[in-house]
Amino acid sequence: MAQVLEFRLPDLGEGLTEAEIVRWLVQVGDVVAVDQPVVEVETAKAMVEVPCPYSGVVTARFGEEGAELPVGAPLLTVAVGEPAAGGDSGGSGNVLVGYGTSEAPARRRRVRSTTVANGQARQPAPAAPAPTRADGPVPVISPLVRRLAREGGVDLRQLSGSGPDGLILRADVEGALRAKAATAAPAQEPARAATAPRGGIRIPLKGVRGAVADKLSRSRREIPEATCWVDADATELMRARAAMNAAGGPKISLLALLARVCTAALARFPELNSFVDTEAREVVQLEQVHLGFAAQTDRGLVVPVVRDAHARDAESLTAEFARLTEAARAGTLTPGELTGGTFTLNNYGVFGVDGSTPIINHPEAAMLGVGRIVPKPWVHEGELAVRQVVQLSLTFDHRVCDGGTAGGFLRYVADCVEQPAVLLRTL
């Protein structure tokens, strides 16, 4: 006698409500071990491998690759054997490796008894779709699905969900919207066809790209931002870095030196290491500097966060930037590594451009932008010379400070770039 345990899509943290199945790592009939990854999913934050908390035989999978599932929807079922001595039922209790080890809530486990003959687990009978109701509860878990239906004028009570137990999924609502559009006012079709764009490629705003779009839009709506900028002679900073790397030991990146400048400047101008609590109408200044940095990947722009950047030296910062950048390109950053930043450093100079007016990474209060460092004519010690010049820009939330504070911060950063010895006064 064995039990069939249902493993549901766990809460992946950071307020995420759904995930897209990217790749199944197991097949029906496979034997899985406790905490073995069984599926790779993509959330609005990152790609995540989801481990199964049970050991046994996979009897069913729910959802094809490319399908979106809400948190709490069934992922798979596993037939497990009799409990071992001491009460071990073949489950670890882990919901997701790296996101805490706690017993999964009872509502996320549904236990059904079935027999296993000749080592083959019997497939559970598929659940019948929920009947259409004129009243009563609607089988929808995801708030995003409810919002999509509400904005599109779709009555959820008239839909039969395609998910397990009749659960209404996003695809069901989108199908209803397409059907609604196809049957609406045929006479208007020629007029629309004359003005509609033809041959365009539609790219869904979902996953990481969708999350970035939502966050940038929110930043522009809520934050009254302003930008100031200054050109700086980075020749001495480049020489200092070359001397450090010539001395042996781990190489120091330019980004790490700029990060050290940022943390020193934030110590002098803490107003910029803050956020606005709109409900309380308060500016909250933060003690720790969790430094975000923009990283371009094949999956879009992400902003990994270096925790406690103010307590790290240049060598430690270099190593952490390299680790997070590699994880970003591989798509293995965890939600915790993509959230919680207090200030962002944006080195857009790597794209070969001089300046930019970036959008603040909500809910932070400021972002320092760094352009490319290129040889330019510059007056140095009263003489015209060719120097390594960089444009620095600071975009800031005008609610947290005025131009004097922002200008003071940017001027201090420029002074450190031009004369790295200035930075020694803060060490």
Residues known to be catalytic: 398, 402
| Residue 61 contacts residue 43 (beta carbons within 8 Å) | no
| Side chain identity at residue 213, one-letter code | A
Query: Residues with Cβ < 8 Å from 413, sequence gap 6 or more?
Result: 232, 261, 262, 265, 368, 392, 394
Q: Is 264 left (phi over 0), alpha (psi -120 to 50) or beta?
A: alpha
Residue 119: burial class (beta carbons within 10 Å; 0-12, 13-18, 19+):
exposed
Query: Residues with Cβ < 8 Å from 107, sequence gap 6 or more?
Result: 72
Provide the H-helix boundaries in 153-285.
170-182, 189-195, 207-222, 235-246, 254-268
Residue with tokens 């940095």: 293
| Residue 299 contacts residue 209 (beta carbons within 8 Å) | yes
Tell how far CA 164 is from the center of its chain: 28
d(CA 333, CA 314): 22
| Residue 392 contacts residue 370 (beta carbons within 8 Å) | yes
d(CA 427, CA 419): 15
| Residue 397 contacts residue 285 (beta carbons within 8 Å) | no
| Residue 374 contacts residue 386 (beta carbons within 8 Å) | no
| Residue 77 contacts residue 363 (beta carbons within 8 Å) | no
